Every structure is written in structure tokens, then in C-alpha cells.
Chain A
Amino acid sequence: MSNTSPVLELHAVSKSYGQGDAEVHALREVSLTTGAGEMVAVMGPSGSGKSTLLTIAGTLEDPTDGEVLIAGHPLAGMSRGAKAQLRRRAIGYVFQDFNLLPGLTAAENVSLPLELDGLSARKARLAGLKALDGLGLGERAGHYPDQLSGGERQRVAIARAMVGERRLLLADEPSGALDSVNGEAVMRLLHGACKNGGMAAVVVTHDAQLASWADRVIFLRDGRITDQTSPARGPESLLVTEIDK
């Protein structure tokens, strides 16, 4: 866990669907806390509850049991409108298939959430351009999604997820559709957003190479957290020379 104040807190969160014999337990008493500067990866096979965890952390679904807090605000009892505002202001999403709006340019896609939140079109556009510039896409700001490569589209999606005062970044297989070089670039950006941008990130994946970018990897199985990596040894331990041994 990060040393800073928590951005996302899940306390004994459970989620079940259906009733009686048809009841399915997607999550069982999951507790997870992460703070600014930390990237957590959640690994697990299909059906382990990864996506449910992400939708609950993103306030898109309510847990059946347990408590969720975003930046210290408990979600229980919060109105739909307040949750929607929290989503727009504090949470950024990155999906495997980018989810960019095809009729909007890269800059418009990035600035849209700010405009929806009441910022003037001019200020939103400036913030959008700055976010795109920060990810090396300044010259592509006027291009439509179908004029961009897969890697560029995902960078636009990351810019959209980071723009404004976002605190929490949620990503679902963010480099799944990309080749390994572009996938690595995406993970570098996400990790940079945590380390330099002060965001907290939760990345859901079944890909170990992707997960290895995280500061902490949590393993989910049948809706429960069964294990997690420890940040015990530094990378230098791998580069000990024969003579030093």
C-alpha cells in the first residue's frame, strides 16, 4: 500500500448476483487500499471477479456488502448525481477497445469530460491539448480516432483518463489489443501517471507482463484475494556480477 492518504478503499466488499440456487458470488470480502503514486495490478483467470472489482471501484455498481471509499468519501448513501459527479471529476477509465467517440477529434474526446462537468469549452480544450501534448500527441490533436494508430488511440484514451483533477485511474486490459512495443508504451504512461502525476491506478489483467509494471500485484480467484506480491527485493539484485557473489 502507498504511504500517502488512500484514494481507493474497499473494505470487505462482496458482490453477488441472482438468488437461491442461481446465486453467483462474484466478489467475496475483498479488501484493497491504494493511494496516490501507486499502481496496483489485479490478476486472475476469467470469472475470478476482476471486472466486477473494477466496476465497483469505479462506482458503476454497488456492492452487496462492504464499504467503498473514493478519496475518503464513502459511496454508501451517496445520490446517483453525486456519484456521477465523483466519476467525472475523480476517476479516469482506460478500456481495452479505447472507447473513443468516432465523431470527435482527439482533442474533443479528451476535453469532453471536462465540458460535461461544467468547464468552459475554451478551458476544457486547453486542458485537453495540454494532456495530449504531455503524451506526445500534440500534433495529432485534430485527428479523428480512425486516423490514428491503435497505440495513438490508447494514448488519447489515457489522456482523457488523466485530464483535469483525476485521482484514480482504472484500466481494464489497457494494452490487450496492442503489440508488445505499443503495449509497453501504454504501461509506461500509466505508471508515469502514478509516479509523476500523483494518481492511484488499478489495472485489471490476466497478462503477467502487463502486471509486472505495477508496484503491487494482487491475485484474485473465485472472487477472493488469495495472494499478492511483496516489493521485497530491488531490481539491482538481478544484476549481481559473478565476481561480487
Chain B
Amino acid sequence: MSVRHAMLALLSEGPSYGLQLREEFEARTGDVWPLNVGQVYTTLQRLERDGLVVSEGDDDSPQKAFRITEDGVRELDTWLRTTPDLSSPPRDELVMKILIALRVPGANVIEVIQAHRRYLVELMQQWTRIKEDSHPADLSLGLAVDAELFRLDAVVRWLDAADGRIKRVATDAALAKTAELPKAAEAGPLPRMSLSTSRKERTRR
């Protein structure tokens, strides 16, 4: 979330004071992303330093109003049209935990997955209650809560997919072992085998 650009967006509607900007920001995001006042003033100072806003009034007064400059308007327009960088996968803590659980002796990866799934669904229940209790016309809150729900839902779906994939690999290996195929001997204990394969081996396959 870019506080810097959110401030520019608010100032594009007209000059405003720091405290007003904070209140507006929280109202527009349905109070889902709280902001402290220090963050607002630090951001405004940096915007002023970069020539994207100008202040009007006494330097030390909290009643100092800020106004967007032409450079600020251009910066805002560029930011709105710039797609976020989603090309490289983030180092996701949850993904790392599941990958590690596959390799830790004695760790039950299915139970680890379920612990995370339950927590995520509980979080989603809390967000849904907020949406249910809100007025349908409160579009800001509805959209902000939807964004959280879709984000959490994507993680749950990944956990479901991981669960299914691990089960499939384990079942295939059990079947191979039953049929006494030579493959079973190569496979080793599951589901560790799928990750214990080196990158070189995977490439060769």
C-alpha cells in the first residue's frame, strides 16, 4: 500500500491539512488500513522535498495546509497506470513452512497444512462478519474487505492444492509399491521424495 500516492490522490481533490488527510484516508479504505499521524506528516514532508506538494502556512503549525503540484499530478497519473511487480514470486513464509515440513523427520505435513488452513478460515470468518455488519452502500469497506477475503482465499486454495498433490504422490507411490514396480524402490519414503530430488535430476527428467 503506497501511503505516498494515497496522499497525492487525496490532495488531487483540493488542499488539505495533515489530520484531515489521515481521516480521509481511513474513511476511504473502510478503516481497514489504519494510519498513524506521524506516518502522514513524514510522508507529506518527503512529498514536499520532492516537489510533489507545497505547504501553505506557518512551518511549525499543525494547521499547515498542503497542495498538490503539477509534478505531483503527473506522478499520481503515472503511478495509477503502473502495474505492480508480480513477476517474481515473493518469499512467502507459509510456502516455506510447508516445504520445510515435507523434509523434517516426524513432521506431519498434512497436520501443518490444516493448522494454517483453520487459522486462515477463522480470519476469513472475522472479515465476513465485518462485511455482514456493514451497510451495503459502504462501498469502501466492502471493497477493502473483499480484497482481504480474496487474498486469504487464494492462500487456502493453495493449501488445498498442496494437500491434494501430497496425497496423490503418496497414493501413487503406495500403488507402485503394491505392484512391486522397480519405480517404488527409487521412490523412497513419501512425500519427502518429491523434494529430495536434486534440481539437476529434475532437469534431466
B133 contacts A by Cβ under 8 Å: yes
B34 part of interface (Cβ distance < 8 Å): yes
Query: Quick one: given A45-B160, A212-B121, are A219 and B128 in contact (CB under 8 Å)?
Result: no
Question: Does A85 sit at the interface, judged by CB under 8 A?
Answer: no
B101 at the interface (CB under 8 A from A): no
Set B35, B39, B120, B163: member contacting A208, Cβ < 8 A: B120
Contacts of B125 in A (CB 8 A): 212, 214, 217, 229, 231
The answer for the CA separation of A191 and B129 in the assembled complex, in Å, is 11
Given A207-B153, A234-B126, 20 more A-B residue pairs with CB atoms under 8 Å apart are A45-B160, A45-B164, A191-B132, A208-B121, A208-B124, A208-B152, A209-B128, A209-B150, A211-B124, A212-B125, A217-B125, A219-B117, A227-B114, A229-B118, A229-B121, A229-B122, A238-B130, A239-B32, A240-B34, A243-B37
Contact (Cβ within 8 A) B130 A239: yes
Interface presence of A147 (CB below 8 A): no
A135 to B18, CA, bound (A): 45
For residue A209, which residues in chain B have a CB less than 8 angstroms away from its CB? 124, 128, 149-150, 153
Q: Which of A45, A212, A237 contacts B149 (CB 8 A)?
A: A212
Complex Cα–Cα for A232 and B133 (A): 18
Report if A206 contacts B (CB, 8 A): yes
**B105-159 interface (Cβ within 8 A of A):** 114, 117-118, 120-133, 146, 149-150, 152-153, 156-157
CA of A207 to CA of B124, assembled, Å: 11
Q: Indicate whether B31 reaches chain A with its CB closer than 8 angstroms.
A: yes
* Chain A residues in the interface with B (C-beta under 8 A): 43, 45, 180, 184, 188, 191, 206-209, 211-214, 217, 219, 226-235, 237-243
Closest B residue to A217 using CB positions: B121
Chain A residues with CB under 8 Å of B130's CB are 235, 238-239
> Is the CB–CB distance between B118 and A219 below 8 Å?
yes
Which one of B32, B34, B114, B131 lies within 8 Å of A219 (CB-CB)?
B114
Query: Which residue of the partner chain A has the closest CB to B126?
Result: A235
A72 to nearest B CB, angstroms? 29
Question: Can you offer 16 A-B residue contacts whose CB atoms are under 8 A?
Answer: A43-B121, A45-B163, A207-B153, A208-B121, A209-B149, A212-B149, A214-B125, A217-B118, A217-B125, A219-B114, A229-B121, A233-B122, A235-B126, A235-B133, A238-B130, A243-B34
Q: Are A242 and B36 in contact (CB under 8 A)?
A: yes
Residues of B within 8 A of A240 (CB): 34
A-side contacts of B153, CB under 8 Å: 207-209
Cross-chain contact A213 with B160 (CB below 8 angstroms): no
A237, B34: Cβ atoms closer than 8 Å: no
Q: B109 CB to closest chain A CB, in angstroms?
A: 14
Which residues from B are CB-within-8-Å of A238? 32, 123, 126-127, 130
